[in-house]
Structure 1
Amino acid sequence: MDRYNLIKGKNEREIVLLKGSPCVWGKCTFCDYIHDNDENEKEMIELNKTVLKNVTGELKVLEVINSGSVFELPKETLNDIKKIVEEKGIKKLFFESHWSYRYRLDEIREFFNVPIIFKCGIETFDNYFRNKVLKKGAIFSGPKEVRKYFESICLLIGIEGQTKEMIDKDIEYLLKYFSKGCVNIFVENTTYIKRDENLIGWFQEKYSYLQSDSRVEVLFENTDFGVGE
Protein backbone atom coordinates (compact mmCIF):
# COMPACT_ATOMS: atom_id res chain seq x y z
CA MET A 1 0.00 0.00 0.00
CA ASP A 2 1.51 3.32 -1.10
CA ARG A 3 0.62 6.08 1.34
CA TYR A 4 2.71 9.04 0.20
CA ASN A 5 3.26 10.75 -3.11
CA LEU A 6 4.36 14.03 -4.67
CA ILE A 7 1.83 15.20 -7.26
CA LYS A 8 3.21 17.30 -10.09
CA GLY A 9 1.33 19.09 -12.86
CA LYS A 10 -2.18 20.15 -11.92
CA ASN A 11 -2.59 21.42 -8.36
CA GLU A 12 0.91 20.39 -7.29
CA ARG A 13 0.98 19.05 -3.76
CA GLU A 14 2.12 16.29 -1.47
CA ILE A 15 -0.50 13.70 -0.60
CA VAL A 16 -0.74 11.20 2.24
CA LEU A 17 -3.20 8.35 2.73
CA LEU A 18 -3.75 7.88 6.46
CA LYS A 19 -5.84 5.53 8.56
CA GLY A 20 -8.89 6.65 10.47
CA SER A 21 -11.78 5.12 12.37
CA PRO A 22 -14.78 3.73 10.44
CA CYS A 23 -16.55 6.10 8.05
CA VAL A 24 -19.46 7.93 9.69
CA TRP A 25 -21.72 6.78 6.84
CA GLY A 26 -20.13 3.59 5.51
CA LYS A 27 -23.15 2.53 3.42
CA CYS A 28 -22.17 3.53 -0.13
CA THR A 29 -22.91 0.61 -2.46
CA PHE A 30 -19.89 1.29 -4.69
CA CYS A 31 -17.24 1.68 -2.01
CA ASP A 32 -14.90 -0.90 -0.52
CA TYR A 33 -12.38 1.79 0.40
CA ILE A 34 -13.74 1.65 3.96
CA HIS A 35 -11.82 -1.59 4.49
CA ASP A 36 -8.76 0.62 5.03
CA ASN A 37 -10.16 2.03 8.27
CA ASP A 38 -9.44 0.62 11.71
CA GLU A 39 -10.59 0.66 15.32
CA ASN A 40 -7.19 0.20 16.95
CA GLU A 41 -6.31 3.82 17.64
CA LYS A 42 -2.78 3.09 18.82
CA GLU A 43 -1.90 1.27 15.60
CA MET A 44 -3.53 3.97 13.48
CA ILE A 45 -1.55 6.70 15.21
CA GLU A 46 1.76 4.87 14.76
CA LEU A 47 1.11 4.13 11.10
CA ASN A 48 0.09 7.73 10.45
CA LYS A 49 3.23 9.03 12.16
CA THR A 50 5.35 6.87 9.86
CA VAL A 51 3.54 8.11 6.75
CA LEU A 52 3.69 11.76 7.79
CA LYS A 53 7.47 11.56 8.16
CA ASN A 54 7.63 11.56 4.35
CA VAL A 55 6.23 15.09 4.08
CA THR A 56 8.92 17.60 3.10
CA GLY A 57 6.86 20.75 2.63
CA GLU A 58 8.65 21.50 -0.65
CA LEU A 59 5.43 22.40 -2.44
CA LYS A 60 3.86 24.12 0.59
CA VAL A 61 0.60 22.27 -0.11
CA LEU A 62 -0.50 19.03 1.55
CA GLU A 63 -3.53 16.83 0.89
CA VAL A 64 -4.59 14.39 3.59
CA ILE A 65 -7.00 11.60 2.71
CA ASN A 66 -8.34 8.59 4.60
CA SER A 67 -11.11 6.06 4.15
CA GLY A 68 -13.73 8.53 5.30
CA SER A 69 -13.53 12.09 6.59
CA VAL A 70 -10.89 14.17 8.31
CA PHE A 71 -13.09 14.07 11.43
CA GLU A 72 -12.39 10.34 11.73
CA LEU A 73 -8.64 10.75 12.10
CA PRO A 74 -7.32 10.33 15.65
CA LYS A 75 -6.82 13.54 17.60
CA GLU A 76 -3.12 12.77 17.96
CA THR A 77 -2.83 12.41 14.18
CA LEU A 78 -4.47 15.83 13.74
CA ASN A 79 -1.90 17.23 16.16
CA ASP A 80 0.90 15.56 14.18
CA ILE A 81 -0.41 17.11 10.96
CA LYS A 82 -0.56 20.52 12.65
CA LYS A 83 3.08 20.19 13.74
CA ILE A 84 4.10 19.42 10.16
CA VAL A 85 2.12 22.40 8.88
CA GLU A 86 4.01 24.65 11.27
CA GLU A 87 7.46 23.07 10.91
CA LYS A 88 7.40 22.63 7.12
CA GLY A 89 5.68 25.92 6.33
CA ILE A 90 2.61 24.36 4.71
CA LYS A 91 0.45 27.16 3.27
CA LYS A 92 -2.61 25.16 2.15
CA LEU A 93 -4.31 21.93 3.13
CA PHE A 94 -6.79 19.64 1.38
CA PHE A 95 -9.07 17.39 3.42
CA GLU A 96 -12.03 15.13 2.64
CA SER A 97 -15.38 15.34 4.37
CA HIS A 98 -18.70 13.55 4.06
CA TRP A 99 -21.72 15.79 3.53
CA SER A 100 -22.98 15.00 7.04
CA TYR A 101 -20.06 16.94 8.58
CA ARG A 102 -20.80 20.14 6.62
CA TYR A 103 -21.69 22.13 9.73
CA ARG A 104 -18.38 21.26 11.45
CA LEU A 105 -15.86 22.34 8.82
CA ASP A 106 -14.92 25.49 10.72
CA GLU A 107 -13.64 23.33 13.59
CA ILE A 108 -10.87 22.09 11.31
CA ARG A 109 -10.22 25.53 9.83
CA GLU A 110 -9.77 27.03 13.28
CA PHE A 111 -7.55 24.17 14.45
CA PHE A 112 -5.06 24.43 11.59
CA ASN A 113 -5.31 28.17 10.92
CA VAL A 114 -4.22 27.89 7.26
CA PRO A 115 -6.40 27.93 4.13
CA ILE A 116 -8.20 24.60 3.69
CA ILE A 117 -10.01 23.17 0.69
CA PHE A 118 -12.55 20.55 1.69
CA LYS A 119 -13.41 17.92 -0.93
CA CYS A 120 -16.81 16.25 -0.79
CA GLY A 121 -17.82 13.14 -2.67
CA ILE A 122 -21.06 14.16 -4.30
CA GLU A 123 -20.73 11.47 -7.02
CA THR A 124 -23.72 12.86 -8.96
CA PHE A 125 -26.30 15.61 -8.63
CA ASP A 126 -29.05 13.21 -9.68
CA ASN A 127 -30.79 12.76 -6.34
CA TYR A 128 -32.32 9.35 -7.08
CA PHE A 129 -29.11 7.82 -8.40
CA ARG A 130 -26.99 9.36 -5.64
CA ASN A 131 -29.12 8.24 -2.71
CA LYS A 132 -31.20 5.28 -3.93
CA VAL A 133 -28.63 3.53 -6.14
CA LEU A 134 -25.28 4.63 -4.71
CA LYS A 135 -26.75 5.13 -1.20
CA LYS A 136 -24.52 8.13 -0.61
CA GLY A 137 -26.49 9.61 2.27
CA ALA A 138 -26.21 13.16 0.96
CA ILE A 139 -29.49 15.05 0.57
CA PHE A 140 -29.41 18.60 -0.76
CA SER A 141 -31.36 20.86 -3.10
CA GLY A 142 -28.66 21.29 -5.74
CA PRO A 143 -25.18 22.63 -6.49
CA LYS A 144 -25.79 26.03 -4.89
CA GLU A 145 -26.40 24.41 -1.52
CA VAL A 146 -23.33 22.20 -1.85
CA ARG A 147 -21.21 25.24 -2.77
CA LYS A 148 -22.15 26.93 0.51
CA TYR A 149 -19.91 24.41 2.25
CA PHE A 150 -17.52 22.92 -0.32
CA GLU A 151 -15.48 24.49 -3.10
CA SER A 152 -14.27 21.13 -4.40
CA ILE A 153 -16.37 18.07 -5.20
CA CYS A 154 -15.78 14.56 -6.50
CA LEU A 155 -17.93 12.98 -9.19
CA LEU A 156 -18.18 9.30 -10.09
CA ILE A 157 -18.51 8.38 -13.77
CA GLY A 158 -19.18 5.15 -15.64
CA ILE A 159 -21.61 3.10 -13.56
CA GLU A 160 -24.37 0.95 -15.05
CA GLY A 161 -27.61 2.91 -14.76
CA GLN A 162 -26.04 6.31 -15.25
CA THR A 163 -27.02 8.23 -18.37
CA LYS A 164 -25.24 10.68 -20.63
CA GLU A 165 -27.75 13.34 -19.59
CA MET A 166 -26.91 12.85 -15.92
CA ILE A 167 -23.20 13.14 -16.60
CA ASP A 168 -23.65 16.22 -18.79
CA LYS A 169 -25.51 17.94 -15.96
CA ASP A 170 -22.91 16.88 -13.38
CA ILE A 171 -20.03 18.30 -15.42
CA GLU A 172 -22.01 21.47 -16.11
CA TYR A 173 -22.56 22.02 -12.39
CA LEU A 174 -18.96 21.18 -11.53
CA LEU A 175 -17.58 23.78 -13.93
CA LYS A 176 -20.21 26.42 -13.13
CA TYR A 177 -20.27 26.34 -9.34
CA PHE A 178 -16.98 24.92 -8.06
CA SER A 179 -13.40 26.14 -8.21
CA LYS A 180 -11.98 22.60 -8.16
CA GLY A 181 -13.18 19.11 -8.81
CA CYS A 182 -12.17 15.51 -9.23
CA VAL A 183 -13.82 13.14 -11.70
CA ASN A 184 -13.35 9.49 -10.81
CA ILE A 185 -13.88 6.88 -13.51
CA PHE A 186 -15.43 3.93 -11.73
CA VAL A 187 -13.15 0.90 -11.33
CA GLU A 188 -14.88 -2.34 -10.42
CA ASN A 189 -14.02 -3.64 -6.95
CA THR A 190 -15.41 -6.10 -4.43
CA THR A 191 -18.89 -4.52 -4.51
CA TYR A 192 -21.67 -5.59 -6.89
CA ILE A 193 -21.66 -2.27 -8.79
CA LYS A 194 -20.60 -2.64 -12.45
CA ARG A 195 -18.87 -0.41 -14.99
CA ASP A 196 -20.52 0.83 -18.17
CA GLU A 197 -17.71 0.66 -20.71
CA ASN A 198 -19.72 2.37 -23.45
CA LEU A 199 -20.56 5.28 -21.19
CA ILE A 200 -16.92 5.63 -20.13
CA GLY A 201 -15.79 5.63 -23.77
CA TRP A 202 -18.34 8.33 -24.59
CA PHE A 203 -17.19 10.41 -21.61
CA GLN A 204 -13.51 10.11 -22.55
CA GLU A 205 -14.24 11.36 -26.05
CA LYS A 206 -16.67 14.15 -25.20
CA TYR A 207 -14.86 15.47 -22.15
CA SER A 208 -11.24 14.97 -23.20
CA TYR A 209 -10.78 18.74 -22.81
CA LEU A 210 -11.01 18.36 -19.04
CA GLN A 211 -7.48 16.98 -19.09
CA SER A 212 -6.23 20.49 -19.87
CA ASP A 213 -8.56 22.27 -17.45
CA SER A 214 -6.55 23.31 -14.40
CA ARG A 215 -9.62 23.09 -12.18
CA VAL A 216 -10.38 19.44 -12.81
CA GLU A 217 -8.48 16.22 -12.17
CA VAL A 218 -9.71 13.11 -13.98
CA LEU A 219 -8.74 9.79 -12.41
CA PHE A 220 -8.96 6.69 -14.59
CA GLU A 221 -7.55 4.44 -11.86
CA ASN A 222 -7.97 4.55 -8.09
CA THR A 223 -4.21 4.94 -7.73
CA ASP A 224 -3.74 7.84 -10.16
CA PHE A 225 -2.76 10.12 -7.26
CA GLY A 226 0.05 7.69 -6.45
CA VAL A 227 -1.45 6.35 -3.22
CA GLY A 228 -3.52 3.26 -2.47
CA GLU A 229 -3.30 -0.11 -4.16
Structure 2
Amino acid sequence: MGGALSVLTGEVGLGKTLICRKILSDFSAADTVKTAYLLNPPQDFGYLMVNVIYDLTGVRVKPRSGNNHYLVEELYRILLEEAKVGRQVVLIIDEAHRLPAEVLEGVRLLTNLETSKQKLLSIILVGQPELDDTLSRRDLRQLRQRIAVRCRLKPLGRRQTREYVNHRLVSQSGNKGILFTSPAHWWLYRLSGGIPRRINLLCGRAILAAFAGFAPKVTVGHVRRASREIEYGSG
Protein backbone atom coordinates (compact mmCIF):
# COMPACT_ATOMS: atom_id res chain seq x y z
CA MET A 1 0.00 0.00 0.00
CA GLY A 2 3.02 2.24 0.36
CA GLY A 3 1.72 4.71 2.94
CA ALA A 4 -1.67 5.30 1.33
CA LEU A 5 -4.73 6.60 3.16
CA SER A 6 -7.86 4.69 2.13
CA VAL A 7 -11.52 5.13 3.06
CA LEU A 8 -14.24 2.46 2.95
CA THR A 9 -17.82 3.44 3.77
CA GLY A 10 -21.21 1.75 3.64
CA GLU A 11 -24.50 1.37 5.46
CA VAL A 12 -24.98 -0.97 8.40
CA GLY A 13 -25.08 -4.64 7.40
CA LEU A 14 -23.18 -4.40 4.11
CA GLY A 15 -20.15 -6.32 5.38
CA LYS A 16 -17.56 -3.66 6.19
CA THR A 17 -16.20 -5.48 9.23
CA LEU A 18 -16.15 -8.74 7.26
CA ILE A 19 -13.98 -7.01 4.66
CA CYS A 20 -11.69 -5.80 7.44
CA ARG A 21 -11.29 -9.35 8.71
CA LYS A 22 -10.55 -10.58 5.20
CA ILE A 23 -7.87 -7.92 4.79
CA LEU A 24 -6.36 -8.86 8.16
CA SER A 25 -6.42 -12.55 7.22
CA ASP A 26 -4.68 -11.90 3.92
CA PHE A 27 -2.06 -9.66 5.51
CA SER A 28 -1.39 -12.12 8.34
CA ALA A 29 -0.12 -14.59 5.77
CA ALA A 30 2.41 -12.06 4.45
CA ASP A 31 5.77 -11.58 6.15
CA THR A 32 6.05 -8.11 4.64
CA VAL A 33 3.01 -6.60 6.40
CA LYS A 34 2.16 -5.96 10.05
CA THR A 35 -1.31 -4.79 11.01
CA ALA A 36 -3.07 -2.96 13.81
CA TYR A 37 -6.86 -3.15 13.97
CA LEU A 38 -9.05 -0.85 16.04
CA LEU A 39 -12.74 -1.70 16.39
CA ASN A 40 -14.78 1.04 18.07
CA PRO A 41 -11.71 3.30 18.46
CA PRO A 42 -11.40 5.71 21.41
CA GLN A 43 -12.67 9.23 20.75
CA ASP A 44 -9.50 10.70 22.19
CA PHE A 45 -6.35 10.82 20.07
CA GLY A 46 -4.05 9.95 22.96
CA TYR A 47 -5.98 6.80 23.85
CA LEU A 48 -6.25 5.92 20.16
CA MET A 49 -2.45 6.04 19.96
CA VAL A 50 -2.16 3.89 23.08
CA ASN A 51 -4.35 1.26 21.43
CA VAL A 52 -2.40 1.36 18.16
CA ILE A 53 0.91 0.87 19.97
CA TYR A 54 -0.54 -1.94 22.09
CA ASP A 55 -1.91 -3.74 19.02
CA LEU A 56 1.49 -3.56 17.33
CA THR A 57 3.71 -4.42 20.29
CA GLY A 58 1.60 -5.87 23.11
CA VAL A 59 2.92 -3.10 25.37
CA ARG A 60 0.44 -0.67 26.91
CA VAL A 61 1.95 2.76 27.39
CA LYS A 62 0.32 5.36 29.62
CA PRO A 63 -1.16 8.49 28.03
CA ARG A 64 -0.12 11.86 29.40
CA SER A 65 -2.76 14.52 29.65
CA GLY A 66 -2.33 17.16 26.96
CA ASN A 67 0.85 15.60 25.56
CA ASN A 68 0.56 13.14 22.70
CA HIS A 69 3.85 13.99 21.02
CA TYR A 70 5.75 11.26 22.86
CA LEU A 71 3.17 8.69 21.69
CA VAL A 72 3.71 9.73 18.07
CA GLU A 73 7.47 9.46 18.62
CA GLU A 74 7.05 5.97 20.08
CA LEU A 75 4.96 4.90 17.10
CA TYR A 76 7.56 6.38 14.76
CA ARG A 77 10.25 4.30 16.49
CA ILE A 78 8.15 1.16 16.05
CA LEU A 79 7.52 1.92 12.38
CA LEU A 80 11.24 2.43 11.76
CA GLU A 81 12.00 -0.94 13.34
CA GLU A 82 9.43 -2.64 11.13
CA ALA A 83 10.77 -0.88 8.04
CA LYS A 84 14.29 -2.10 8.81
CA VAL A 85 13.12 -5.71 8.50
CA GLY A 86 11.11 -4.95 5.38
CA ARG A 87 7.62 -4.78 6.87
CA GLN A 88 4.95 -2.22 5.98
CA VAL A 89 2.57 -1.34 8.82
CA VAL A 90 -1.14 -1.06 8.07
CA LEU A 91 -3.56 0.53 10.54
CA ILE A 92 -7.26 -0.28 10.09
CA ILE A 93 -9.71 1.87 12.04
CA ASP A 94 -13.22 0.38 11.99
CA GLU A 95 -16.28 2.42 13.03
CA ALA A 96 -14.26 5.51 12.09
CA HIS A 97 -17.47 7.54 11.62
CA ARG A 98 -17.54 7.84 15.41
CA LEU A 99 -14.25 9.73 15.53
CA PRO A 100 -14.41 13.49 16.23
CA ALA A 101 -12.84 15.83 13.70
CA GLU A 102 -9.91 16.60 16.01
CA VAL A 103 -9.02 12.90 16.24
CA LEU A 104 -9.21 12.55 12.46
CA GLU A 105 -6.85 15.50 12.21
CA GLY A 106 -4.47 13.56 14.45
CA VAL A 107 -4.79 10.60 12.10
CA ARG A 108 -3.75 12.91 9.26
CA LEU A 109 -0.56 13.74 11.12
CA LEU A 110 0.26 10.03 11.26
CA THR A 111 0.41 9.99 7.46
CA ASN A 112 3.47 12.26 7.77
CA LEU A 113 5.51 9.51 9.44
CA GLU A 114 8.12 8.68 6.84
CA THR A 115 11.78 8.43 5.97
CA SER A 116 13.54 10.01 3.02
CA LYS A 117 12.72 6.87 1.05
CA GLN A 118 9.24 5.76 2.07
CA LYS A 119 6.02 6.32 3.95
CA LEU A 120 5.96 4.15 7.05
CA LEU A 121 2.24 3.77 7.76
CA SER A 122 -0.77 2.92 5.62
CA ILE A 123 -4.17 3.75 7.11
CA ILE A 124 -7.63 2.42 6.22
CA LEU A 125 -10.63 4.27 7.65
CA VAL A 126 -13.82 2.18 7.68
CA GLY A 127 -17.23 3.47 8.68
CA GLN A 128 -20.82 4.35 7.93
CA PRO A 129 -21.71 7.11 5.41
CA GLU A 130 -21.46 9.69 8.19
CA LEU A 131 -17.70 9.34 7.79
CA ASP A 132 -17.99 10.78 4.27
CA ASP A 133 -19.96 13.70 5.70
CA THR A 134 -17.29 14.36 8.32
CA LEU A 135 -14.47 14.16 5.79
CA SER A 136 -16.23 16.73 3.61
CA ARG A 137 -15.82 19.37 6.32
CA ARG A 138 -13.68 22.34 5.37
CA ASP A 139 -11.43 21.99 8.41
CA LEU A 140 -10.54 18.45 7.30
CA ARG A 141 -9.65 19.33 3.72
CA GLN A 142 -5.98 18.49 4.32
CA LEU A 143 -6.95 15.00 5.45
CA ARG A 144 -9.28 14.67 2.47
CA GLN A 145 -6.42 15.55 0.13
CA ARG A 146 -4.40 12.62 1.52
CA ILE A 147 -7.01 10.02 0.50
CA ALA A 148 -5.61 7.82 -2.27
CA VAL A 149 -8.38 5.20 -2.44
CA ARG A 150 -12.07 5.73 -1.68
CA CYS A 151 -14.70 2.97 -1.83
CA ARG A 152 -18.43 3.05 -1.10
CA LEU A 153 -20.26 -0.24 -0.56
CA LYS A 154 -23.75 -0.46 -2.02
CA PRO A 155 -26.62 -2.90 -1.40
CA LEU A 156 -26.94 -5.91 -3.68
CA GLY A 157 -29.23 -5.68 -6.67
CA ARG A 158 -32.09 -8.12 -7.29
CA ARG A 159 -29.99 -10.52 -9.37
CA GLN A 160 -27.03 -10.22 -7.01
CA THR A 161 -29.29 -11.01 -4.05
CA ARG A 162 -30.46 -14.22 -5.71
CA GLU A 163 -26.88 -15.20 -6.57
CA TYR A 164 -25.78 -14.44 -3.02
CA VAL A 165 -28.53 -16.64 -1.54
CA ASN A 166 -27.73 -19.49 -3.93
CA HIS A 167 -24.04 -19.24 -3.12
CA ARG A 168 -24.75 -19.38 0.61
CA LEU A 169 -27.00 -22.40 0.17
CA VAL A 170 -24.37 -24.25 -1.86
CA SER A 171 -21.49 -23.39 0.46
CA GLN A 172 -23.36 -24.34 3.63
CA SER A 173 -25.51 -27.30 2.62
CA GLY A 174 -24.67 -28.28 -0.94
CA ASN A 175 -28.10 -27.12 -2.08
CA LYS A 176 -28.06 -25.56 -5.55
CA GLY A 177 -30.52 -22.80 -4.80
CA ILE A 178 -33.79 -24.55 -5.71
CA LEU A 179 -34.97 -24.25 -2.11
CA PHE A 180 -36.56 -20.82 -2.72
CA THR A 181 -39.31 -20.24 -5.26
CA SER A 182 -38.76 -17.41 -7.75
CA PRO A 183 -41.42 -15.17 -6.11
CA ALA A 184 -39.79 -15.87 -2.74
CA HIS A 185 -36.47 -14.64 -4.13
CA TRP A 186 -38.15 -11.44 -5.31
CA TRP A 187 -39.73 -10.80 -1.92
CA LEU A 188 -36.47 -11.60 -0.19
CA TYR A 189 -34.81 -8.86 -2.20
CA ARG A 190 -37.67 -6.42 -1.62
CA LEU A 191 -37.80 -6.95 2.14
CA SER A 192 -34.03 -7.01 2.66
CA GLY A 193 -33.20 -4.05 0.45
CA GLY A 194 -30.18 -6.02 -0.75
CA ILE A 195 -28.47 -5.73 2.65
CA PRO A 196 -26.53 -8.99 3.26
CA ARG A 197 -27.14 -8.99 7.02
CA ARG A 198 -30.91 -8.68 6.49
CA ILE A 199 -30.81 -11.30 3.75
CA ASN A 200 -29.12 -13.74 6.13
CA LEU A 201 -31.69 -13.12 8.86
CA LEU A 202 -34.65 -13.46 6.52
CA CYS A 203 -33.27 -16.62 4.91
CA GLY A 204 -32.63 -18.29 8.24
CA ARG A 205 -36.12 -17.57 9.57
CA ALA A 206 -37.83 -18.44 6.28
CA ILE A 207 -36.03 -21.78 5.98
CA LEU A 208 -36.97 -22.67 9.55
CA ALA A 209 -40.59 -21.81 8.83
CA ALA A 210 -40.57 -23.98 5.70
CA PHE A 211 -38.99 -26.92 7.50
CA ALA A 212 -41.43 -26.59 10.41
CA GLY A 213 -44.32 -26.85 7.96
CA PHE A 214 -42.70 -29.70 5.99
CA ALA A 215 -42.81 -27.51 2.87
CA PRO A 216 -40.64 -28.66 -0.07
CA LYS A 217 -39.61 -25.08 -0.87
CA VAL A 218 -39.46 -21.67 0.77
CA THR A 219 -42.39 -19.60 -0.48
CA VAL A 220 -43.41 -15.96 -0.35
CA GLY A 221 -45.46 -16.71 2.75
CA HIS A 222 -42.42 -18.03 4.59
CA VAL A 223 -40.34 -14.99 3.66
CA ARG A 224 -43.04 -12.52 4.71
CA ARG A 225 -43.59 -14.39 7.96
CA ALA A 226 -39.84 -14.22 8.62
CA SER A 227 -39.93 -10.47 8.02
CA ARG A 228 -42.77 -10.00 10.51
CA GLU A 229 -40.97 -12.07 13.15
CA ILE A 230 -37.78 -10.04 12.76
CA GLU A 231 -39.65 -6.73 12.77
CA TYR A 232 -41.69 -7.49 15.87
CA GLY A 233 -39.18 -9.74 17.61
CA SER A 234 -41.48 -12.75 17.80
CA GLY A 235 -40.48 -16.37 17.49
TM-score > 0.5 by shorter chain: no
Give the structure with the higher percent helix: 2
Give the structure with the higher percent strand: 1
* Higher RCO structure, 1 or 2 (CA under 8 Å, sep 6+): 2
Taking structure 2 as the reference length, the TM-score comes to 0.31
Taking structure 1 as the reference length, the TM-score comes to 0.32
